[in-house]
Amino acid sequence: MKRLRVWRRWFTRKFGYARLVCLVLLVGFAALRIADPAPVEEIRVRTFDTFQVIDHRKKEVRPVAILDIDERSLKEVGQWPWPRTELAELVDNLTRLGAAAIAFDAVFSEPDRLNPDVVVDTFRNLDEATREKLKAQPSNDQVFADAIKRSRVVLGESGLPQSNAELDKKLPQTGLATHGEDPRPFLFEFPGLLRNVPVIEQAAAGRGLFTIKPERDGIVRRVPLIMQAQGTIMPSLTFEMLRVVTGTDTLFIKADKAGIISAGVKGFQIPTDKNGQLWVHFARHDPSIYVSAVDVLQGKVPSEKIAGKLVLVGTSATGMNDIKTTPVDPAMPGVEIHAQVLESALTGGIVSQPNYGFAFEFFAALILGILVIILAPQFGPVTLVIVGALLASVLIGVSWFYYVQYRLLIDFTYPLLSTTAIYLTLIFASFVREQAQRRQIRSAFGQYLSPVLVEQLAQSPEKLVLGGEEREMTIMFSDVRGFTTISETYKRDPQGLTRLMNRFLTPLTNAIIARKGYIDKYMGDAIMAFWNAPLDDPEHQINACSAAVDMLDRIDELNRQREQEANEGGHVYIPLNVGVGLNTGIGVVGNMGSDLKFNYSVLGDSVNLASRLEGQSKEYGFPIIVGSNTALAAKDRFAILELDFVMVKGKKEPEVIYAIAGREDVMHSEQFQRLRNLTIEMLACYRARDWEGALAAIERGRKSDDGLALAKLYDLYAARIRSYQLNPPPADWNGAYALLTK
């Protein structure tokens, strides 16, 4: 268990749980791409749709024509299906006009209902000789078959969702040759097959499936070139048409273990997806390739419209229900989709999704995902966004480049989605970590800093340097004078003593926090605080002095309340007096302590001096004593009075110490200026060993000190001078006085 905890601590520090989650996510996306469920594929094909919309196929030549059984043809010739004699005339007329090949986007699975031997039975009062003569006439199906024999015609067939028990296995089939793996497992399969009536089927030069399967969203993007129908491998209508027009006897299919690679006839090798489907490079709907069937029947079509072209016979009539949706057109007749397949093949305008595209997408996602997992936590937010945008641009740019230059469909959505998911996971983990860090900072500093400063620190935790940092700071120590005497009055009421401590520590704490100070610790009735950490405070000396003066004001207010309460309650009132020491200097601030418990605190000589100054406040008779650096920074904002030149125990260099006698109003008062000048005169005489002059200055000061503010200071110096008069200081004396107490 101990080893497990050590390993977990090491892993968390070096690697982090967020990265582990991202690795699991990366593996999950890899499995998702291998499974390739419908939603993933739909995102991919929608991207390819966008490519086609932006850069669809532009027609430069038109090798295909559509004989359109349109609304006008249906109106003039009659409803569909037309008599096979009309269709025979259509084939003959197209052949005379020079059609290279003709394909029917329809299936003639039943005999013509207008065949003479069928129609004759519907006539009444017809003599037997005429009846026999009519029955002896060739059937409309035969007439149609004869016309087909005189041309190169490919008949359409249709896949069925169920097996066709009446299928004639003896009817002609197209030859097939394969290279590589068996393509059957990859082909779309129809359980049944709907063929034409035998007499027509045998006359045709070729047969192909015209079945078009829209995808899940109803859009036609891919058209199978090779399919299986009732156990037989068959070409599509368009692929069979290419075979017939090129004079090839056999279709060629190339496959590997990943699927079908291509399908070909002589002169054409057409790349397909793994299921033998051609990605159609669509052009916009082109009305110019349409020729009305009734115009062909009536001989109104110029030969250049048909000559040398592959002619597809189909319909654009709304009632015939053969309208499809393509990526570039929401309503395109199904027969035109076949035309677009032929145009793409004949003009070389083919798009394809190579089998190696999967490997490219898969490894791109893995590599980018790993790079993001490794590098993202090391980047800042702005850098991370820039790098993320750059990666996305590269992925999209590579995919677009291959599409435009080579008509290859390389999917960028999978690596982009995978990388984005990992990126967002790391962002979320970083957000959670930052929120936890902010909560920790608020918890750690909320009781010792003002709410505004705590929020600044929470929003910018980088300003908190943990583990130790040198910076200039102002340190404060405060203590209640005579608290031992006060506490003795609460021997029988310890709860009352606790309430009293909370009562005076609260306003003192509030005064410090209101001036941007940080409470380091409480030591019984004493407080240690500092400024300019953890957040920068350019006016830390001024704020510390202001806090000290505010503390005295708040203690005065508390004493007035306690005195009133004592008078009303009939008990003894003992005032609270606070001494404050302030010093500015370099300190080391950071988390101090052990692995089990630590505190944000400060160490250094400046801290020790602040503590010594607080202890001297009762000796000099001033509640606020500050070091020289603090006094120098605050001299224009407070009534600063020089007190002494002292040698603090533990320090080699003496320090000039000062008292803060009040704010600016006191500083500008005549009485303070007079007392300040007398004190300066007294100190000058004292340090020059002019004992009589110093005593004279003290005497004048006593007369001017109506409030006896300097009485204790004058008494202290008078006693020192009398001592020096009896025992003069050594010759090298510089005026410094060694403090005997802490």
| Tokens 């004639």 -> residue | 168
713 or 434: which leads in pLDDT: 713
Residue 707 has pLDDT above 80, yes or no: no
Residue 7 has pLDDT above 60, yes or no: no
**Helix (H) or strand (E) segment spanning residue 166:** none
Correct CATH for 470-637 of 3.30.70.1230, 3.40.50.40, 3.40.50.620, 3.40.50.720: 3.30.70.1230
Exposure b/e, 324-343, CB count within 10 A at least 16 = b: bbbbbbeebbbbbbbbbbbb
Q: Using CA atoms, how far apart are residues 420 and 601, in angstroms rounded to an integer?
A: 42
100 or 323: which leads in pLDDT: 100
Residue of 364, 421, 430 whose CA lies nearest to 397: 364
* Alpha-carbon distances, residue 688 vs 644, 693, 696 (angstroms): 14, 10, 14
275 or 379: which leads in pLDDT: 275
| Tokens 């196929």 -> residue | 57
> What does the pLDDT read at residue 527?
94
* Percentage of the chain exceeding pLDDT 70: 87
* Percentage of the chain exceeding pLDDT 90: 39
Average of per-residue pLDDT across 509-526: 90
Q: Long-range contacts of range 79-83, CB-CB < 8 Å, 24 or more positions apart?
A: 80/315, 80/320, 81/106, 81/108, 81/112, 83/112, 83/114, 83/140
Report the interhelical angle of 413-445 vs 356-375 (nearest 10°): 10
Q: Using CA atoms, how far apart are residues 705 and 709, in angstroms rounded to an integer?
A: 7
pLDDT band at 168 (very low <50, low <70, confident <90, very high): low
Q: Long-range contacts of range 504-508, CB-CB < 8 Å, 24 or more positions apart?
A: 504/480, 504/555, 504/558, 504/576, 507/551, 507/554, 507/555, 507/557, 507/558, 508/478, 508/551, 508/554, 508/555, 508/578
- Tens digits of residue pLDDT in 399-441: 888 888 888 888 888 888 888 888 888 777 777 776 666 666 5
Q: Rounded to a whole number, what is the distance in angstroms from the first to the last CA of the chain?
A: 51
Residue 164 has pLDDT above 60, yes or no: yes
Q: Using CA atoms, how far apart are residues 491 and 329, in angstroms rounded to an integer?
A: 95
313 or 417: which leads in pLDDT: 313
**What average pLDDT does the structure give for the chain?**
84
Q: In 10 A of CB 9, how many CB atoms?
A: 10
For 391: left if phi > 0, alpha if psi spans -120 to 50, otherwise beta; the answer is alpha
Q: Which of 134-138, 184-188, 449-453, 589-593 has the highest mean pLDDT?
A: 184-188
> What does the pLDDT read at residue 438?
64
> What does the pLDDT read at residue 445?
55
Residue 533 has pLDDT above 90, yes or no: no
For 498: left if phi > 0, alpha if psi spans -120 to 50, otherwise beta; the answer is alpha
429 or 81: which leads in pLDDT: 81
Name the DSSP letter for residue 288: G
Q: Using CA atoms, how far apart are residues 643 and 666, in angstroms rounded to an integer?
A: 17
288 or 22: which leads in pLDDT: 288
Residue 450 has pLDDT above 50, yes or no: no
Show the DSSP H helices in 324-450 as ranges. 334-347, 356-375, 381-406, 413-445
Q: In the structure encoding, which two tokens stand for residue 31, read together?
A: 């499995």
Q: Using CA atoms, how far apart are residues 705 and 688, in angstroms rounded to an integer?
A: 24
pLDDT band at 126 (very low <50, low <70, confident <90, very high): low
Residue 463 has pLDDT above 60, yes or no: no
Residue of 623, 637, 477, 639 whose CA lies nearest to 556: 623
- Tens digits of residue pLDDT in 45-59: 888 888 888 888 888
Whether the Cβ atoms of residue 183 and residue 260 lie closer than 8 Å to each other: yes
- Tens digits of residue pLDDT in 655-689: 999 999 999 999 999 999 999 999 999 999 999 99
Average of per-residue pLDDT across 447-470: 56
Average of per-residue pLDDT across 126-139: 69
**Model pTM above 0.85:** no
Average of per-residue pLDDT across 161-172: 73
Q: Write out 661-680 in H/E/C secondary structure.
A: EECHHHHCCHHHHHHHHHHH
> What does the pLDDT read at residue 44?
81
Residue 11 has pLDDT above 60, yes or no: no
> What does the pLDDT read at residue 633?
96
Q: Using CA atoms, how far apart are residues 237 and 221, in angstroms rounded to an integer?
A: 17
φ/ψ of 578, rounded to 5, equals -110, 135
Q: Using CA atoms, how far apart are residues 558 and 552, in angstroms rounded to an integer?
A: 10
449 or 431: which leads in pLDDT: 431
pLDDT band at 566 (very low <50, low <70, confident <90, very high): confident
Whether the Cβ atoms of residue 261 and residue 239 lie closer than 8 Å to each other: no
168 burial (CB, 10 Å; 0-12 / 13-18 / 19+) is exposed
Residue 322 has pLDDT above 80, yes or no: no
